[in-house]
């Protein structure tokens, strides 16, 4: 009997044939949560020191140099920061290799870091699922709930909150299991405030119903760094094509103000 059989994990669709030895940081319980509830929290992925360094780099760029799309008085976003040289010093702190290893376990198939990556500063985000909107909506031609040639929508977001949310409800809020529900329904019994500690990270299936803070109530700037990973398939391709277009449009707007 192999280890997968011993712990009774073989029946979850996403995790077939996982080499457990390769995925020590990402436990089987983690993978099961992601599959069933649509999200998972990984504890202590970053050190507090690294989070503080990330905050400095970001605040310097976004607040001081205003390298962001301004969304409100004190809020904004920086789409595709990975390709902006001003954020270069952030890259080594992100531990992309370790993230890649976790994602390898989740996908167990070829995948990539999509172009979808951004930083949000003090953003207020209401209930939604992460799909393309407005003029970018048409890029997602294939129904995200369908299966096509054995493929389905498998896009996960890796979220790094650069402040503590253990004692507040200003972090991520989501509806457990709603990554399988086609419409947005707010069931209070399934509503979950994520109380991630500084250094913890959250991964979710981007079809989950979720929201951020509802108003800017924190004592310090609320910063969220997010990275999107998709299985190499048509669903990822379509989402990515529209996302690249949106991010480029937004970055052109930022440049025109700088
Ligand atoms: O601000 C948040 O906590 C959530 C932001 C969000 O909707 C996302 O990253 O997809
Ligand atoms: Fe979202």
Could you say which ligand is closest to the alpha carbon of residue 228? 1
Of 10-14, 46-50, 155-159, 180-184, the one with minimum mean pLDDT is 10-14
The structural domains of the chain, with segments of one domain joined by +, span 32-130+151-247
Which CATH code of 2.60.120.620, 1.10.238.10, 2.30.31.20, 3.40.50.720 fits the domain covering 32-130+151-247?
2.60.120.620
More confident residue, 85 or 19: 85
Averaged pLDDT for residues 218-237 = 96
- What is the average pLDDT score of the chain? 89
Residue 25 has a pLDDT of 62
Residue 5 has a pLDDT of 26
Answer for the pair 145, 206: CB distance below 8 angstroms, yes or no: no
Of 26-35, 141-150, 241-250, the one with minimum mean pLDDT is 26-35
Q: How far is the CA of 8 from the centre of ligand 2 (A)?
A: 32
6 pLDDT higher than 70? no
Q: How far is the CA of 195 from the centre of ligand 1 (A)?
A: 14
pLDDT tens digits, one per residue of 39-84: 999 999 999 999 999 999 999 999 999 999 999 889 999 999 999 9
Averaged pLDDT for residues 19-45 = 77
pLDDT tens digits, one per residue of 167-215: 999 999 999 999 999 999 999 999 999 999 999 999 999 999 999 999 9
4 pLDDT higher than 80? no
Residue nearest to atom 7 of ligand 1 (CA): 211
The model carries a pTM of: 0.89
More confident residue, 1 or 252: 252
Nearest atom, ligand 1, residue 161 CA: 3
């Amino acid at each position: 009997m192999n280890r997968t059989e011993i712990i009774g994990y073989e029946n979850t669709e996403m995790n077939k044939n996982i080499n457990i030895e390769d995925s020590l940081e990402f436990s089987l319980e983690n993978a099961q949560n992601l599959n069933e509830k649509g999200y998972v929290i990984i504890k202590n992925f970053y050190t507090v020191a690294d989070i503080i360094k990330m905050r400095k780099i970001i605040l310097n760029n976004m607040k001081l140099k205003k390298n962001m799309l301004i969304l409100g008085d004190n809020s904004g976003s920086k789409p595709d920061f990975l390709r902006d040289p001003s954020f270069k010093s952030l890259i080594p702190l992100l531990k992309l290799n370790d993230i890649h290893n976790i994602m390898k376990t989740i996908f167990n198939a070829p995948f990539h870091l999509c172009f979808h990556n951004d930083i949000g500063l003090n953003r207020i985000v209401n209930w939604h699922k992460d799909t393309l909107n407005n003029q970018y909506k048409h890029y997602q031609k294939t129904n995200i709930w369908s299966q096509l040639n054995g493929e389905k929508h498998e896009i996960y977001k890796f979220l790094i909150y650069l402040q503590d949310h253990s004692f507040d409800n200003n972090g991520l809020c989501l509806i457990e299991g709603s990554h399988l529900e086609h419409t947005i329904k707010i069931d209070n019994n399934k509503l979950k405030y994520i109380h991630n500690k500084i250094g913890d990270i959250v991964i979710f299936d981007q079809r989950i119903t979720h929201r951020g803070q509802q108003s800017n109530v924190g004592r310090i700037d609320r910063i969220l760094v997010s990275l999107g990973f998709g299985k190499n398939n048509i669903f990822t391709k379509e989402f990515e094509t529209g996302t690249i277009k949106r991010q480029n449009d937004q970055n052109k707007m930022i440049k025109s103000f700088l």
